[in-house]
Chains A and B, each alone.
Chain A
Amino acid sequence: MISEEQVRHVANLARLGLKDEEVARMGEQLGAILESIDKIGELDLEGVPPTANPLNLTNVLRPDEPREELPREEALAPAPEPVDGLFAVPRID
């Protein structure tokens, strides 16, 4: 299970503002997920390397060659408040 404190901590790290009733509901849901993951612990995995990716592929690489870049206006288009070609963001605390 996951404690209320842990839920609040994770929510804070993810910058999610949860109401008290949401904390309880999220706790239940996350708990259920953790429980099913715990089932893996019941298997004998001695000598099995951790799987980082389900695809059985490695070394998918690209050559060091330039590709098309975005024109600056396009890059800045989604920004609510560009200033002199820069993305403006709220004060960092």
Chain B
Amino acid sequence: MQAQARETYQAVIGLEFHVHLATTTKMFCGCRVTYGEEPNTHTCPVCLGHPGALPVINEKAIELGVMAGLALNCNVAERAEFARKNYFYPDLPKGYQISQFDLPICIGGHLDVPLGDETIRVGITRLHLEEDAAKNVHVGESGRMHGSVGSMVDYNRGGTPLMEIVTEPDIPSPEAARATANHIKEIMRAIGVSEADMEKGQLRCDANVSIRNPDGSFGTKTELKNMNSFRFVERGIAAELARQREILESGGRVEQTTLHYDPNDDEVHELRSKEFAHDYRYFPEPDLLPLELSEAWVSEIKSRLPELPDEMRARFVESYGLSAYDAGVLTADRDLAVFYEKVASEVDPKQAANWISGDLRARLNEAGVGISDSKVTPEHMIELIGLVGSGNISRSAARDVLGTVFASGDAPSAVVEREGLASMGGDALSGIVDGVIAANPDEAERVRGGDKKVIGFLVGQVMKEARGSADGGRVRQLLLEKLGS
């Protein structure tokens, strides 16, 4: 009964992303955008909110925003305006945030999110630009507070160009929410709009979560904030859905509220409502002039739009004959995709995909480095795959060689020579096979009699003798030949 009841609870999830744009300077002033520098070393009267200081729009930020909108299939507005969002908080020195309200730069788009073997389409409601707030360092985090003081502020981040992307409530599950967040990151990185590193706070995600009423209408939604990793996006939403289900199952009503996911106890906690008593009194920013995003400007930006992950994925399937899964894995990381294409231009593309999406990627993940920071070059992979293809080394030896190349940056051929990993010549291997047959007469007889099951045992014995420098397939073939089976 429980399972049945659960099926009738359909999740309705919408996401809100905040993305730092990859500009050199801030949104409305010429201070540098930096990460991890000494506090308050990149400020000026504009981003400190000094009276009389005037903002000027960073052209690059507009271009990156438009580029992101185009990548998300949005309509770019002909005319856009900035607006003041008024509220008091120490991270906002002017007492308002310059944002966009009724005339954002982009509206109405979508993205197709790969989810397992399927794709789900998630609508984009709007995309707008604003300035990021400064960073509050709360008591307890620093352990260096004075008695009367409550928190400390670093304005380096204040004024960083920030893009907000709001999706339609089209996302059916926590897994799909995580996949959507992942895909947004992929797209932003692929088009060079943002590094979108969640750990650096360059990509942040909030969720609106509700459960559909039995009649199909939307239930009361809650807002879930502060999910600062892809894993927490999924777990936070799952925790909130579980909470809402429990309320509904016990005959209660979900209250509209803002929640915070705490990964430590895997639960959501309500934020004090006073903190979020929203009454922002938006009005057009009088210190800035409207934007006119002419067709010529937009098409010029469009012409600079690099290949999108979806397009690249389709091309990898089409021109390299890869599975959708492999194509997805390789294109999920632009650097890895570029690396792959270099290798695939010289060797069998499927072999290249197997090695790169399998062994190489596993090593990268284990070491926690990206391909561009690793010592392995496309030339290394080309050489390694060539050595396996020509039968010079076995597959298993090649795995070890890759490990050494990964650690040292030495050429695969040099590693093979140095460590004596070259495959055994035909004669030597043949000798070992003969020896194993002689040492295991019973098993050999059973293979001769047509019992193929024991062949694995004999292969294993040969491999052991050959100490890994033999190819399993070749050994099996040799055994079968010799045993006339």
Q: How far is the CA of A55 from the CA of B285 in the complex (A)?
A: 13
B279 partner residues in chain A, CB cutoff 8 A: 9, 13
Q: How far is the CA of A58 from the CA of B139 in the complex (A)?
A: 44
Q: B442 in the interface, Cβ–Cβ < 8 Å?
A: no
> Which of the candidate stretches B1-9, B286-294, B302-310 sits at the interface with the other chain?
B286-294
Q: B59 in the interface, Cβ–Cβ < 8 Å?
A: yes
B291 partner residues in chain A, CB cutoff 8 A: 58-59
Q: B48 in the interface, Cβ–Cβ < 8 Å?
A: yes
Whether the Cβ atoms of A81 and B61 lie closer than 8 Å is no
Q: B43 in the interface, Cβ–Cβ < 8 Å?
A: yes
Known contacts A52-B81, A65-B30, A67-B30: does B274 contact A93 (CB below 8 Å)?
A: yes
Q: A43 in the interface, Cβ–Cβ < 8 Å?
A: no
Known contacts A57-B289, A72-B40, A92-B89: does B31 contact A66 (CB below 8 Å)?
A: yes
Known contacts A70-B43, A85-B40: does B144 contact A63 (CB below 8 Å)?
A: no
A75 partner residues in chain B, CB cutoff 8 A: 40, 43, 48, 155
Residue from A9, A52, A81 within 8 A of B149 (CB atoms): A81
Nearest-neighbour CB distance to chain A for B358, whole angstroms, equals 40
Q: B127 in the interface, Cβ–Cβ < 8 Å?
A: no
Whether the Cβ atoms of A59 and B60 lie closer than 8 Å is no
Q: A46 in the interface, Cβ–Cβ < 8 Å?
A: no
Residue from B45, B57, B137, B151 within 8 A of A60 (CB atoms): B57
Whether the Cβ atoms of A87 and B59 lie closer than 8 Å is no
CB-CB contacts of B281-324 with A at 8 A, as 1s and 0s? 10010101111100000000000000000000000000000000
Nearest-neighbour CB distance to chain B for A58, whole angstroms, equals 4
Q: B41 in the interface, Cβ–Cβ < 8 Å?
A: yes
How many contacts between A and B, using CB within 8 angstroms?
133
Pick from A15, A60, A69, A72 the residue with the most CB of B within 10 Å. A69
CB-CB contacts of A82-93 with B at 8 A, as 1s and 0s? 011111111111
Chain A residue at minimal CB-CB distance from B45: A70
Whether the Cβ atoms of B150 and A60 lie closer than 8 Å is no
Q: From DSSP, what is the main secondary structure of chain B's interface residues?
A: loop
A69 partner residues in chain B, CB cutoff 8 A: 30-32, 41-44
Whether the Cβ atoms of A86 and B62 lie closer than 8 Å is no
Q: How far is the CA of A14 from the CA of B382 in the complex (A)?
A: 66
Whether the Cβ atoms of A89 and B24 lie closer than 8 Å is no
Chain A residue at minimal CB-CB distance from B280: A13
Nearest-neighbour CB distance to chain B for A14, whole angstroms, equals 8
Nearest-neighbour CB distance to chain B for A87, whole angstroms, equals 4
A59 partner residues in chain B, CB cutoff 8 A: 289, 291-292
Q: How far is the CA of A58 from the CA of B292 in the complex (A)?
A: 6
Residue from B58, B286, B292 within 8 A of A62 (CB atoms): B58
Q: B171 in the interface, Cβ–Cβ < 8 Å?
A: no
Residue from B30, B60, B89 within 8 A of A68 (CB atoms): B30
Pick from A13, A68, A75 the residue with the most CB of B within 10 Å. A75
Q: How far is the CA of A72 from the CA of B103 in the complex (A)?
A: 37
Known contacts A59-B292, A81-B149: does B284 contact A52 (CB below 8 Å)?
A: yes
Q: A64 in the interface, Cβ–Cβ < 8 Å?
A: yes
Q: B453 in the interface, Cβ–Cβ < 8 Å?
A: no
Q: How far is the CA of A57 from the CA of B288 in the complex (A)?
A: 10
A81 partner residues in chain B, CB cutoff 8 A: 146, 149
Whether the Cβ atoms of B289 and A64 lie closer than 8 Å is no
Known contacts A62-B58, A86-B154: does B40 contact A76 (CB below 8 Å)?
A: yes
Q: A40 in the interface, Cβ–Cβ < 8 Å?
A: no
Nearest-neighbour CB distance to chain B for A64, whole angstroms, equals 4
CB-CB contacts of B78-92 with A at 8 A, as 1s and 0s? 010100001011100
B284 partner residues in chain A, CB cutoff 8 A: 52-53
Q: How far is the CA of A70 from the CA of B41 in the complex (A)?
A: 7
Whether the Cβ atoms of B150 and A90 lie closer than 8 Å is yes
Q: How far is the CA of A61 from the CA of B32 in the complex (A)?
A: 17
Q: How far is the CA of A81 from the CA of B57 in the complex (A)?
A: 32
Nearest-neighbour CB distance to chain A for B80, whole angstroms, equals 10
CB-CB contacts of B45-71 with A at 8 A, as 1s and 0s? 100100000001111111000000000
Q: B152 in the interface, Cβ–Cβ < 8 Å?
A: yes
Nearest-neighbour CB distance to chain B for A90, whole angstroms, equals 5
Q: B228 in the interface, Cβ–Cβ < 8 Å?
A: no
Whether the Cβ atoms of B45 and A64 lie closer than 8 Å is no
Whether the Cβ atoms of A88 and B149 lie closer than 8 Å is yes
Whether the Cβ atoms of B57 and A61 lie closer than 8 Å is yes
Whether the Cβ atoms of B153 and A87 lie closer than 8 Å is yes
CB-CB contacts of A1-31 with B at 8 A, as 1s and 0s? 0000000010001010000000000000000
**Can you name 30 A-B residue pairings with CB atoms under 8 Å?**
A52-B103, A53-B284, A58-B290, A58-B291, A60-B56, A60-B288, A61-B62, A62-B56, A63-B59, A63-B60, A64-B23, A66-B25, A67-B30, A68-B44, A70-B44, A72-B38, A72-B40, A75-B43, A81-B146, A81-B149, A83-B144, A84-B39, A85-B39, A86-B154, A89-B90, A89-B149, A89-B150, A90-B150, A91-B150, A92-B90
Question: Which residue numbers of A lie inside 8 Å of B, CB to CB?
Answer: 9, 13, 15, 52-53, 55, 57-70, 72, 75-76, 81, 83-93
Question: Which residue numbers of B lie inside 8 Å of A, CB to CB?
Answer: 23-25, 29-32, 38-45, 48, 56-62, 79, 81, 86, 88-90, 103, 136-137, 139, 142, 144-146, 148-155, 274, 279, 281, 284, 286, 288-292
A-B residue pairs, 9 tightest by C-beta: A91-B150, A67-B30, A64-B60, A86-B152, A52-B284, A61-B59, A89-B90, A58-B292, A88-B149
